[in-house]
Structure 1
Amino acid sequence: MCRDKILFVEIDEKGKLNIRPYSTTYPMIYRSATEVHWDKDKKTLYSPKPTDWSYLEWYLHILSVIKTECSVILELTDKTEWVNIRNELRAEITKAQQNL
């Protein structure tokens, strides 16, 4: 299983959660039919704006899909940037990632 760093986690102006990997790309991830998509311009994995699921659930879902479908583990680092992410959510994501 490969590993890749997460450059940034962002909630964009449309309310979508975006995760940008350091080196891997996923232009065909839509084929997994998991509601995880690839933005070729931003080079991010993204989810729809949450309705039934929280941002934390979408974050974990994206990581799970990439691990299962692509055999890549995406990891936060000390250098991961957090864009439009409130401190509480950042703490939840960081804690959940440590428990994976």
Structure 2
Amino acid sequence: MKNEVINKIVVNDQNELLLKLIGQGSPTYQYVYREAVGVYWDENQIAFKSTPIREWTVYDWFFHIKDIVKSGLNLELLIDEKATWENITNEEKNKIKNALQQQV
């Protein structure tokens, strides 16, 4: 399994969650849409993204994207220790970080 590192987690103006990668990604990441579960690759931003957030929380979308990328692309998404978070509440950020620590 290949790894990619997330260096920025942001909710944009369209209310989509973006997980931006340190590297350039891969052209094959575009095929994540075939899973048909609201997860897409944004080549311009070098990020995996959700559809607009409505019923689900940022936490739910974060782990949904992480799981779909893992199962659909055989790719593990890891968070850089110095990753930046934008437009995400401290509550959601801490909930995600705590859940990730439990997985180790």
TM-score normalized by the length of structure 2 = 0.87
Q: Which of 81, 90, 97 is the aligned partner of 1:78?
A: 81
Q: Are 1:64 and 2:67 matched, yes or no? A: yes
* Corresponding pairs, count: 100
Residue matched to 1:53? 56
More moved, 76-85 vs 9-18:
76-85
Q: Considering fraction of residues, name the structure with more strand.
A: 2
Q: Which of 44, 47, 52 is the equivalent residue of 1:44?
A: 47
| TM superposition outliers: structure 1 runs of 4+ over 4 Å | none
User: How much has 1:52 moved relative to structure 2?
Assistant: 2.1
Q: Which runs of 5+ in 1 are unaligned?
A: none
C-alpha distance after superposition, 1:44-72 (max 9, x if no partner): 11111222211111100000011111111
Percent identity reads 26
Question: How well do the aligned residues superpose, as a CA RMSD in angstroms?
Answer: 1.3
Is the contact between residue 76 and residue 97 of structure 1 (CA under 8 Å) also seen in structure 2? no
Could you tell me which amino acid in structure 2 is paired with residue 38 of structure 1? W
Instruction: Give the structure with the larger helix fraction.
Output: 2
Instruction: Structure 2: state its 5+ residue gaps.
Output: none
Residue in structure 1 matched with residue 11 of structure 2 by the alignment: 11
Cα offset for 1:93?
1.1
Deviation at 1:22, TM superposition (A): 2.2
What is the SS of the residue equivalent to 1:59?
A: helix
